[in-house]
């Protein structure tokens, strides 16, 4: 499988170097997708792996973005310090919220996450002096250190937005690898066990709530990191980005992409953002077209886009006469 | 602060509650029986309001025409709900619950643009029935006659729904389905029929809520997402799928909003969300909800 | 996770690249041909009723210029995008318009959040941006000002002060209350009003301030709370379609009688669409403001503008909002002519201090803060047998020029 690993590395480098194509729109889309992909994957730690459906994940994204915006705009704290601080703040809020949320189950869990997220939104909307109210924080600067890359080959020719794109790709890939490692560890397998059967997990001595809380905090942390990057990318942070409709959007990405696969939410982020971009460019009736497209996907591709990829891959594998491998892979489907 | 101010706020909170209950009870009913968390409930409510406007244009102003228009609007919405359930939603039963949720969300998107295409972008309004355009004064508080009338209708609705649920065969089936789905199916109840009719009834109530709120608000695009979140709060606070819970949740929502505004206007925005959070922390299944009724 | 997941991510990412490359390839390169104006504005949801008319006004002006042979021999093409009333979406479409549609200029945005958000993008890309509606002072405040942002709308300071000037002349008022939506526009306008009123009339006391949230479905508790403080006069800043709901709920509880119809309603509460939508319920005797009114006997050229607007929109009672899109485009086109260039830097320089003859009278783009001296019409609501809805008494309409109280 090393061949595929190399291909993946090449692909990532390719995405990082999209600015070379000269198509600035493609660069923006790629940065946007990368950030939302991290956000969606962080939500999938809860939804797909632990079986907890959060309706309020935008809160952590928003807290990360506000923290980053305030630090870069009002203080001299550099980006390299501001990023972990933003993530940490989001994680701390996740500890607080998660402490209460993991005590309840199913739809009530979803509703409590929603309630806390709406409280966070209302706070950011109200505390004008800090967050700028509904007008938010426009003018979040790019990380200062990016300007020192002038002499570096390739990247030196990029403008600040394009350099930031490279930085985002590097960071998102790093974070995705970390999440992948966490989910592949024994800790991740306990989460899956909790999703499959919390009662059994409890029976074999797992402290279910503690594990759920840990998952909740990890998800909040990475959502905060994604938000911190988004605030810079968006050149400003606004409370709309914390409203429940944003939480719904990221949940759509997870479901649309396929929550049973690690890479599903990444596909979902790409699909939804790309669909939205292309449809709004053509018609003001984007809502109708996006809605109908979603319905079509729900009915014809209930396993998400990842399902289609899997089917295509298996088809190719069979055709290549490697049916045996496909069977093995199907059996080891994860999670 | 005088007593009359308190009474005034209590009554205006009550008015809020009444309109909210009309919208929320359908959501609760659908969740309790069909087990679908219907994000599109606000859209059905919005369509009800627009249909009421349409009928008021056809019939002209008047008392009888207003009430007839409201019932017709609710019926149109019920029929629309029936179509959605029969042709689309039905195919998602038994599948991943998140898919059902996503489906209702896609309905929100589709209905939003459909309403825009049909009724245009400008706000529209419906006049109050002429006989109810005044107000009554009660212990120093001022209450619009129309709101009082809707409160009375709402009380009758509560009574009627309660009688149906408690005393009729249909009600027994609904209660059984809400409590334990599998057993109900095993007992030979036609679940297909049950789901369709409950979904349509829920939509009827949403449409009626929209039609009755039409004279006290501006009917505009975007009223769908505003109401649905308020409905969620009312339903969750009371306990999902619980009939009396939804009533209690709506009443609390109205009072918290009214007194939040009076006591700390700066923070009235999150008083209702705080209510939801506090209730869920103290009583994980809502005030009157039971743990068995929760599966989704 | 087994290796197969890694295996498929490759495919996923390759697809992303392929798509991205395809998008890049379709980018339109327009150095000659029509002058392209990107127009990010809300076209869906509750804001559509204002955004679409603003866009129509701009389209009408573009059509007029194009029929007359264009500008610098080139036609004007408006490329509109829905911002969905969200600043992040406004930023996204602004970027799309600049990078993919290669627009020369940006005109548009609606809210006080969208305006400054798009201003950042204009600054970064050195693309001239004219805001026809956003009212926040922050858009053109000294620390946010840059050569590429201009505004042809009122701002919260001028609107609040105009209202204070007007109300300070009302006799027998001592107790004033305010009601405004709880967001920047409402808060800033109210603050500007209160500050000015206290200067002009130190004897007046602000007895109550209500802050319902934007698009509040139920104003009754706010109104009853306000009535209990017994104000003599009220300032309403309910904009954006919210005034309709307030009126419908205020009327039956006798709110307007309690304040003896002494209300000054800002936020375009006197606009044609608001008065039409409220219909017979509109409280007669209150003061409202609006950007324009088809029945207003305005300066020379206004009635011709209204006739053209009626023909363009095929409405007999056209909206009050198209004028904002129209004026924004007029400033842009006049500046392009003066600069004899479509270079944003040169057009920006040409705009400074420029005066145009707009349908609502001469307007000047102040070079100090890149803000036009755009005022509004103020008038008393009356019933007119010619129309099925209330109008502002045409004989008493005042067109307030904010120049004298702009900083």
- Which other chains touch chain C, taking contact as 3+ CB pairs less than 8 Å apart? A, B
Rounded to a whole number, what is the distance in Å from the CA of B229 to chain C's nearest CA?
Answer: 12
Q: What pLDDT score was predicted for residue B289?
A: 80
A22 to chain C: which residues are within 8 Å by CB? 24
> In which residue ranges of chain B is pLDDT below 50?
292-296
DSSP secondary structure letters along C241-252:
THHHHHHHHHTT
Interface probe with B: pick from A43, A51, A115, most Cβ of B within 10 Å? A115
Neighbouring-strand partners of residue C288: C265, C379
Please state, in angstroms and as integers, the Cα–Cα distance from residue C31 to each residue in A252, C25, C35, C126, C309, following that order: 40, 17, 9, 16, 31
For B263-273, b/e burial (b = at least 16 CB within 10 A) is eebeebbbbbb
Rounded to a whole number, what is the distance in Å from the CA of C53 to chain B's nearest CA?
Answer: 10
Closest CA to A223 of A94, A60, A91, A65: A60
Radius of gyration of chain A (CA): 20
Contact across the interface for B117 and A255, Cβ inside 8 Å = no
Closest CA to C79 of C59, C57, C60, C61: C59
Contact across the interface for A295 and B276, Cβ inside 8 Å = no
Helix axes A58-74, A208-233, angle to 10 degrees: 50
What band does A133 get if pLDDT is binned at 50, 70 and 90?
A: confident
DSSP secondary structure letters along C123-162:
HHHT-EEEESS---GGGGSTTT--TTEEE-S--HHHHHHH
Q: What pLDDT score was predicted for residue B138?
A: 77
Contact across the interface for C218 and B16, Cβ inside 8 Å = yes
Chain B residue set in contact with A, beta carbons under 8 Å: 37, 39, 88, 91-92, 95-96, 98-99, 101-103, 105-110, 112-114, 116-117, 225, 229, 232-233, 236, 240, 266-267, 269-270, 273-274, 276-277, 280-281, 284-286, 294-296
Helix axes A2-16, C3-25, angle to 10 degrees: 30
The nearest alpha carbon in chain C to A263 belongs to C9
Q: Which residue has the tokens 């859209």?
A: B43
In angstroms, the CA A4 to CA C6 distance is: 7
For C23, residues 6+ apart whose C-beta sits below 8 A from its C-beta are A23, A25, A26, A29, C100
Contact across the interface for B110 and A292, Cβ inside 8 Å = yes
Does the structure show a pLDDT above 80 at A310? Answer: yes
Interface probe with C: pick from A138, A311, A329, most Cβ of C within 10 Å? A138
Q: What pLDDT score was predicted for residue B1?
A: 52
Rounded to a whole number, what is the distance in Å from the CA of B8 to chain C's nearest CA?
Answer: 6
Q: With an 8 Å Cβ cutoff, is A255 touching chain B?
A: yes
In angstroms, the CA C349 to CA C27 distance is: 29
Interface probe with C: pick from A6, A29, A74, most Cβ of C within 10 Å? A29
Helices within C137-239 (DSSP H only): 156-168, 184-200, 220-227
Q: With an 8 Å Cβ cutoff, is C241 touching chain B?
A: yes
The nearest alpha carbon in chain B to A97 belongs to B277
C136 close to C115: Cβ distance less than 8 angstroms = yes
Q: pTM to 2 decimals? A: 0.91
For B114, residues 6+ apart whose C-beta sits below 8 A from its C-beta are A288
C365 close to C376: Cβ distance less than 8 angstroms = no
Check residue C168 and report its DSSP letter. Answer: H
Classify the C-alpha dihedral B42-B45-B46-B47 as positive or negative.
positive
Does the structure show a pLDDT above 60 at A1? Answer: no
Closest CA to A327 of A335, C401, A319, A317: A317
Contact across the interface for C225 and B262, Cβ inside 8 Å = yes
Q: What pLDDT score was predicted for residue B177?
A: 77
Q: With an 8 Å Cβ cutoff, is C388 touching chain B?
A: no
A121 to chain C: which residues are within 8 Å by CB? none
pLDDT in tens, chain C (407 residues): 344 444 444 444 444 544 444 444 444 444 578 999 999 999 998 899 999 999 999 999 999 999 999 999 999 999 999 999 999 999 999 999 999 999 999 999 999 999 999 999 999 999 999 999 999 999 999 999 999 999 999 999 999 999 999 999 998 899 999 999 988 899 999 999 999 999 999 999 999 999 888 877 778 878 988 988 899 999 999 998 899 999 999 988 889 999 999 999 999 999 999 999 888 889 999 999 999 999 999 999 999 999 999 999 999 999 999 999 999 999 999 999 999 999 999 999 999 999 999 999 999 999 999 999 999 999 999 999 999 999 999 999 999 999 988 88
Phi/psi at A237 (nearest 5 deg)? -125, 135
- Which other chains touch chain A, taking contact as 3+ CB pairs less than 8 Å apart? B, C
Contact across the interface for C9 and A263, Cβ inside 8 Å = yes
Contact across the interface for C87 and A28, Cβ inside 8 Å = no
Pairing of strands C105-107, C35-41: parallel
What band does A281 get if pLDDT is binned at 50, 70 and 90?
A: very high
Pairing of strands C76-82, C35-41: parallel
Q: What pLDDT score was predicted for residue A321?
A: 63
Does the structure show a pLDDT above 90 at A96? Answer: yes
H and E: helices and strands count for chain B: 11, 2
Rounded to a whole number, what is the distance in Å from the CA of C106 to chain A's nearest CA?
Answer: 15
Neighbouring-strand partners of residue C175: C205
For A155, residues 6+ apart whose C-beta sits below 8 A from its C-beta are A149, A163, A166
Q: With an 8 Å Cβ cutoff, is B6 touching chain C?
A: no
Contact across the interface for B121 and C280, Cβ inside 8 Å = no
Nearest to C210 among B143, B217, B265 (CB): B265
Tokens of A85: 């601080």
In angstroms, the CA C382 to CA B245 distance is: 47
In angstroms, the CA A25 to CA C374 distance is: 36
Does the structure show a pLDDT above 70 at A330? Answer: no
Pairing of strands C175-179, C205-210: parallel
Mean pLDDT in residue range A105-124: 92
SS3 track for A144-177 = HHHHHHCCCCCHHHCCHHHHHHHHHHHHHHHHHH
Please write the tens of the pLDDT for every residue from A170-212: 999 999 999 999 999 999 999 999 999 988 998 988 999 999 9
């Amino acid at each position: 499988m090393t061949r595929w690993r190399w291909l993946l590395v090449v692909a990532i480098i390719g995405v990082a170097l999209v600015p070379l194509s000269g198509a600035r729109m493609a660069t923006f889309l790629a940065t946007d997708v990368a950030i939302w992909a991290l956000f969606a994957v962080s939500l999938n730690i809860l939804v797909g792996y632990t079986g907890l459906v959060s309706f309020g994940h935008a809160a952590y994204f928003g807290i990360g973005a506000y923290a980053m915006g305030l630090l870069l705009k009002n203080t001299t704290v550099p980006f390299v310090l501001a990023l972990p601080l933003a993530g940490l703040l989001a994680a701390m809020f996740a500890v607080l919220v998660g402490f209460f949320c993991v005590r309840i189950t199913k739809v009530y869990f979803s509703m409590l996450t929603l309630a806390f997220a709406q409280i966070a939104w209302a706070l950011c909307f109200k505390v004008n002096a800090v967050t700028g109210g509904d007008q938010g924080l426009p003018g979040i600067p790019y990380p200062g250190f990016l300007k020192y890359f002038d002499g570096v080959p390739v990247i030196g020719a990029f403008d600040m937005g394009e350099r930031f794109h490279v930085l985002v790709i590097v960071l998102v890939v790093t974070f995705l690898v970390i999440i992948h490692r966490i989910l592949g560890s024994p800790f991740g397998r306990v989460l899956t066990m909790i999703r499959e059967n919390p009662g059994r997990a409890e029976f074999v001595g797992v402290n279910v709530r503690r594990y759920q809380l840990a998952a909740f905090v990890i998800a909040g942390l990475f959502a905060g990191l994604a938000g911190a990057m988004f605030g810079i990318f968006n050149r400003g942070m606004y409370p709309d980005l914390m409203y429940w409709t944003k939480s719904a959007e990221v949940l759509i990405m997870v479901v649309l992409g396929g929550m049973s696969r690690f890479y599903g939410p990444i596909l979902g982020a790409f699909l939804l953002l790309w669909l939205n971009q292309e449809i709004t460019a053509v018609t003001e009736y984007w809502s109708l077209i996006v809605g109908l497209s979603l319905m079509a996907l729900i009915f014809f591709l209930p396993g998400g886009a990842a399902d289609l990829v899997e089917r295509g891959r298996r088809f190719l594998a069979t055709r290549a006469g490697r049916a045996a491998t496909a069977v093995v892979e199907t059996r080891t489907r994860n999670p | 602060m005088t007593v009359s101010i308190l009474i005034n706020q209590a009554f205006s909170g009550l008015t809020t509650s009444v309109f909210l209950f009309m919208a929320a009870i359908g959501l609760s009913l659908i969740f309790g029986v069909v087990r679908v968390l219907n994000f599109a409930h606000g859209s059905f409510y919005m369509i009800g309001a627009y249909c009421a406007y349409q009928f008021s244009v056809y019939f002209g102003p008047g008392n009888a025409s207003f009430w007839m228009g409201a019932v017709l609007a609710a019926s149109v919405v019920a029929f629309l709900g029936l179509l959605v359930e029969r042709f689309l939603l039905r195919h998602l039963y038994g599948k991943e619950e998140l898919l059902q949720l996503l489906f209702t969300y896609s309905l929100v998107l589709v209905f939003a643009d459909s309403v825009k295409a049909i009724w245009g972008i400008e706000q529209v309004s419906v006049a109050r029935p002429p006989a109810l355009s005044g107000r009554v004064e009660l212990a120093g508080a001022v209450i619009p006659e129309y709101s009082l009338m809707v409160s009375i209708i709402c009380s009758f609705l509560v009574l009627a729904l309660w009688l149906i649920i408690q005393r009729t065969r249909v009600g027994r089936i609904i209660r059984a389905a809400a409590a334990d789905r599998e057993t109900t199916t095993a007992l030979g109840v036609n679940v297909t029929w049950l789901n369709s009719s409950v979904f349509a009834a829920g939509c009827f109530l949403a449409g009626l809520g929209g039609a009755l709120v039409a004279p006290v608000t501006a009917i505009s695009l975007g009223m769908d997402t505003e109401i649905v979140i308020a409905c969620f709060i009312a339903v969750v606070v009371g306990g999902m799928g619980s009939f009396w819970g939804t009533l209690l949740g709506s009443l609390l929502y109205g009072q918290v909003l009214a007194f939040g505004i009076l006591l700390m206007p700066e923070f009235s925005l999150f008083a209702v969300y705080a209510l939801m959070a506090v209730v869920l922390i103290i009583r994980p299944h809502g005030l009157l909800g039971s743990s068995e009724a929760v599966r989704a | 996770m087994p290796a197969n997941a890694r295996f498929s991510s490759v495919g996923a990412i390759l697809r992303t690249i392929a798509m991205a490359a395809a998008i890049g390839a379709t980018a339109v390169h327009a150095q000659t041909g029509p002058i392209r104006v990107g127009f990010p504005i809300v076209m869906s949801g509750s804001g559509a009723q204002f955004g679409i008319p603003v866009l129509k006004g701009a389209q009408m002006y573009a059509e007029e210029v194009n029929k007359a042979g264009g500008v610098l021999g080139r036609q004007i093409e408006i490329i509109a995008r829905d911002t969905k009333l969200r600043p992040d979406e406004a930023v996204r479409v602004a970027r799309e318009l600049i990078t993919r549609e290669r627009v020369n200029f940006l005109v548009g945005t609606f809210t006080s959040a969208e305006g400054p958000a798009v201003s950042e993008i204009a600054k970064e890309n050195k693309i001239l941006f004219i805001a026809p509606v956003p009212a926040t002072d922050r858009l053109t405040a000294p620390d946010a000002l840059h050569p590429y942002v201009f505004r042809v709308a009122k701002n919260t300071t001028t609107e609040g002060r105009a209202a204070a000037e007007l109300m300070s002349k009302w006799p027998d008022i001592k107790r004033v209350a305010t009601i405004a939506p709880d967001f920047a526009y409402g808060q800033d306008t109210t603050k500007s009003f209160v500050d000015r009123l206290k200067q002009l009339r130190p004897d007046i006391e602000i007895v109550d301030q209500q802050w319902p949230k934007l698009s509040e479905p139920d104003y009754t508790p706010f109104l009853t709370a306000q009535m209990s403080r017994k104000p003599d006069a009220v300032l309403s800043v309910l904009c954006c379609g919210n005034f309709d709901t307030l009126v419908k709920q205020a009327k039956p509880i006798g709110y307007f009688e309690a304040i003896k119809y002494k209300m000054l309603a800002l936020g375009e509460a006197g606009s044609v669409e608001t008065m039409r939508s409220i219909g017979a319920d509109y409280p007669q005797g209150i003061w409202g403001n609006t950007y324009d009114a088809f029945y207003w006997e305005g300066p020379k050229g206004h009635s011709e503008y209204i006739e053209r607007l009626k023909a363009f929109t095929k409405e007999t009672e056209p909206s009050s909002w198209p004028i904002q899109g129209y004026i924004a485009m007029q400033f842009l086109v006049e500046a392009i002519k003066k600069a004899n260039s479509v270079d944003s830097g040169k057009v920006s320089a040409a705009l400074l201090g420029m005066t145009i003859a707009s349908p609502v009278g001469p307007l000047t783009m102040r070079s100090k803060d890149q803000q036009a001296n755009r005022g509004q019409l103020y008038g008393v609501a009356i019933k007119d047998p010619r129309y099925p809805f209330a109008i502002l008494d045409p004989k008493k309409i005042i067109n307030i020029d904010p120049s004298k109280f702009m900083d």
